[in-house]
C-alpha cells in the first residue's frame, strides 16, 4: 500500500510528498519540483545564446525519475523556452545546464560539480544531507511523509540566479 500523501500546490502542479524511503512516488514529486524550479527562477540573459534555447535540466548519475521527467519536460514551456532533460556523468558537463540535479548515489561528485559550475548560472539541486552546506542552491529533504526544499540564497546570488518570493516562501531556511 502507498504511504499517506501530503499534497502541495506549486505553480499549478499538484505535488504529493512521500515517506522517507526513496520510491517512484518520491521521485515523481522531486521531478515536479525540478520542472517548477524552471518557472520560479530567472537566469541572466547571457545564460542563453538564442531566445528559443531550451532550459536544460541535467540529472547527474543514474536517472531515478524513469521516463516520467522527460515526458513531462516535453510538454513544458517556460518563458517561450522548451524544457529538456539530459543525463550527464560528471560535473564538467553541468556547465551546459540551467538546472543540475545530483542524485544521492552521486553525492561524491557534489564538490567537483559545484566547483565546475562556479561562476556559471546553474541552479544546483541535490538530495544528499550536506548539499546546501557544501554550496548547492537547492536541497531536497524528506521529512516524515513530505518532500521539502531548502534554499541557499548566498549560493543563488553567487550563481546570479533570481529566485521568486513564492518559491522562497515554500523553502525551509537553509544556509544563508
Across 85-94, 119-128, 138-147, which has the greatest mean pLDDT? 119-128
Tell whether 65 is covered by a domain: yes
- Into how many domains does the chain fold? 1
Domain limits for position 92:
6-173
Task: Let me know if residue 1 belongs to a domain.
Answer: no
Q: Is residue 121 part of a domain?
A: yes
Higher pLDDT residue, 172 or 83?
A: 83
Q: For residue 67, is it within any domain?
A: yes
Task: Examine the pLDDT at 108 and tell me if it is beyond 90.
Answer: no
What pLDDT is attached to residue 146? 86
137: domain CATH number is 3.40.50.2300
DSSP secondary structure letters along the chain: -PPP-EEEEETTEEEEE--SS--HHHHHHHHHHHHHHHHHEE--GGG-SSTTPPEEEEEESS-TTTTHHHHHHHT-EETTEEEEEEEESSGGGGGG-SEEEE-GGGGGGHHHHHHHTTTS--EEEE-STTTTTTT-SEEEEEETTEEEEEE-HHHHHHTT-EE-HHHHHHSEE---
Residue 2: is its pLDDT beyond 80? Answer: no
Residue 98 in any domain: the answer is: yes
Residue 78 in this model has a pLDDT that exceeds 90 = yes
pLDDT value, residue 24: 79
pTM: 0.84
Amino acid at each position: 500500500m502507498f504511504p499517506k500523501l501530503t499534497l502541495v500546490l506549486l505553480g499549478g502542479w499538484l505535488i504529493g510528498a512521500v515517506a522517507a524511503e526513496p520510491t517512484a512516488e518520491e521521485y515523481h514529486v522531486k521531478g515536479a519540483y525540478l520542472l517548477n524550479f524552471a518557472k520560479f527562477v530567472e537566469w541572466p540573459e547571457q545564460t542563453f545564446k538564442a531566445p528559443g534555447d531550451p532550459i536544460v535540466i541535467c540529472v547527474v548519475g543514474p536517472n531515478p525519475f524513469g521516463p516520467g521527467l522527460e515526458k513531462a519536460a516535453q510538454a513544458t514551456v517556460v518563458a517561450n523556452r522548451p524544457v529538456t532533460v539530459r543525463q550527464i556523468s560528471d560535473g564538467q558537463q553541468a556547465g551546459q545546464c540551467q538546472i543540475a540535479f545530483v542524485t544521492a548515489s552521486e553525492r561524491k561528485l557534489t564538490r567537483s560539480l559545484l566547483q565546475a559550475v562556479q561562476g556559471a548560472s546553474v541552479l544546483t539541486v541535490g538530495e544528499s544531507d550536506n548539499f546546501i552546506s557544501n554550496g548547492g542552491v537547492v536541497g531536497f529533504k524528506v521529512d516524515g511523509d513530505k518532500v521539502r526544499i531548502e534554499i541557499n540564497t548566498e549560493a543563488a546570488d553567487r550563481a546570479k540566479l533570481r529566485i521568486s518570493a513564492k518559491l522562497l516562501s515554500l523553502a525551509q531556511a537553509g544556509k544563508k
